[in-house]
Amino acid sequence: MAMADSDFVRRRNVWFGITLAVFLAHDYWIYTTIVAVLLLLILPREKNRSALFFFLLFAAPSIPAEVSGLGVIRYFFDINYVRLLTLVILLPEFLRIQQRPALGRFGEGKADKFVLGFICVQVGLMFMASTLTNTLRQGVFYEFMDIILPYYVMSRSQRTLQELKDTLMAFAVAAIVMGLIATVEFARHWLLYASLPDALGVSWNFGGYLEREPGDLRAQGSTGQPIPLGYVMTIALGFWLYLKKSVAGKKEWMLGAFTLLAGLAASVSRGPWVGTVAMVFVFVALGKKPVQNLVKLGSAGAAIFLVLLVSPAGGKLIDLLPFVGTVEVENIDYRQRLLEISIQLIMQNPWFGAYDYIYSPAMQELKQGQGMIDIVNTYLAIGLSNGLVGLGLFLGFFFVVVIGVYKSMKLLDDKAEEERLLGRTLLATLAGILVIIFTVSSITVIPVLYWSVAGLSVAYIRLLHQEHTETVALAVNRQPKPLVSG
């Protein structure tokens, strides 16, 4: 069993409480206070706080608000739902881990060092271009909350296979619920969370209605934007592949998979669609008989494509597909132009980028109708503002994690099928993430999830290395001791 019944009931009840609070409070600070109280009440009974964090992550949109009236605190702190979860759930866990050095201090591992280096580059560049107060807020406090806490807690708090399974199931269940919501949004042409900012008395840059074609609403659930919704569905589908044996029955697993696929389709987001294909490809390629299975997968994909060609709705769906479709091709042209201009600008300031790159004449060419320049590529955004040094540290972090998971899988014998399956799942999910963030900037829940999934991958590496070390030590102790004569 991936999640105990008592854990599910407790987490579900808090999810309902948060949902009721965000819809009924009609005041941002009343809603925030209720959520904080609910979390503080449940926390002492929660053994796996990473799972709790994932289970509640999509219960409400991450609408921000400035903390005011608290003296100097307001200079350092803007709140939103994800940061509230981070502070109330992950920060106490971080402090608890600090009291147990055996779990590993931050900075000890190779991946930790890349994270630390990436943060140091950001803070240093911000300090040179901004005020000390803004640097402390944006470059120290926010980086600690938004990067270190999710990554470090996920990487150190998951010490057993059962804890990892519980955490993945918590995420999958939360995503399935959002997949249902997204499907209803798409079918009814109605965004469930769109009116919340006005009701709570705050503003939000996300959450508005978007369409691919007139009449075709792009669902977004609580993520505030369609691509993050598709991104969440992709990650959940990756986890769901591993959790197949942990679900009560085959029909239940198929229903969950269908719901996640429906949520992915309802986002009408081509980047997550491509990311999902990449994820499935990697998952199959890492399994037994990869060539044979990839041929079967390709044949199935070709058959589905042919069916779509002759079906009544097939032409419309194919028009939505990336590379072959005709709907909103100007978005693809925009992304290509963004890539060209960004590479030129990065080469002008290759090492550490330019903090004011957005005001360059070349970048101003990309202004859209709303007067906005949308850097719809996480890698380009990092390279432009942090140069090749910052981008190299960011990519180096994921490279170290991917190689670490792959090498750890090599330590397993043929009997460790479940541990091997988890490794395949994590590698495939990371592949999907790395593809998707090429098509979107780090908005709403996107960054907290790639740092968190990478943290789970590090936890997997640490777990397998610990098991391998214990197995070797046990084998050495069982060897017969040499006889000592006279």
pLDDT in tens, 55-85: 999 999 999 997 765 444 444 568 899 999 9
Q: Is residue 301 part of a domain?
A: yes
CA angle 114, 394, 348 (to 5 degrees): 120
User: If you write DSSP's letter for every residue of 389-418 in order, what string do you get?
Assistant: HHHHHHHHHHHHHHHHHHHHHHT--TT-HH
In a domain, 289, yes or no: yes
Which SS3 state, helix, strand or coil, does residue 78 take? strand
Tens-place pLDDT, residues 188-202: 999 999 999 999 999
Distance CA 421, CA 404 (A): 15
Cα–Cα dist 221/374, whole Å: 21
Name residue, tokens 């057993």.
160
Q: Is residue 454 part of a domain?
A: no
Q: Which residue has the higher pLDDT, 64 or 317?
A: 64
The C-alpha atoms of residue 52 and residue 38 are separated, in whole angstroms, by: 12
Percentage of residues in the chain with pLDDT exceeding 70? Answer: 89
**How many Cα atoms within 13 Å fall on the side-chain side of residue 390?**
25
Q: What is the average per-residue pLDDT within 240-258?
A: 93
Residue 171 has pLDDT above 90, yes or no: yes
Q: What is the CA radius of gyration of the chain?
A: 23
Number of domains in the chain: 1
DSSP string computed for 291-341: HHHHHHHHHHHHHHHHHHHHSTTHHHHHHHSTTT--TTHHHHHHHHHHHHH
Among 63-67, 84-88, 272-276, 336-340, the minimum mean pLDDT is found in 63-67
**CA dihedral of residues 152, 432, 18, 145 (deg, nearest 10):** 30
For residue 293, being part of any structural domain is answered with yes
Query: Which domain, by its residues, includes 300?
Result: 281-327
Among 181, 237, 144, which residue's Cα sits nearest to residue 61?
A: 181
Domain assignment present for 315: yes
In a domain, 412, yes or no: no
Average pLDDT, the chain: 89
Lowest mean pLDDT of 98-107, 183-192, 195-204, 230-239, name the range.
98-107
- Residue 8, pLDDT > 80, answer yes
CA distance between the termini of the chain: 57
Task: State residue 313's pLDDT score.
Answer: 59
In percent, how much of the chain has pLDDT > 90?
66
The model's pLDDT over 139-162, given as tens digits with 9 standing for 90+, comes to 788 899 999 999 999 999 999 999
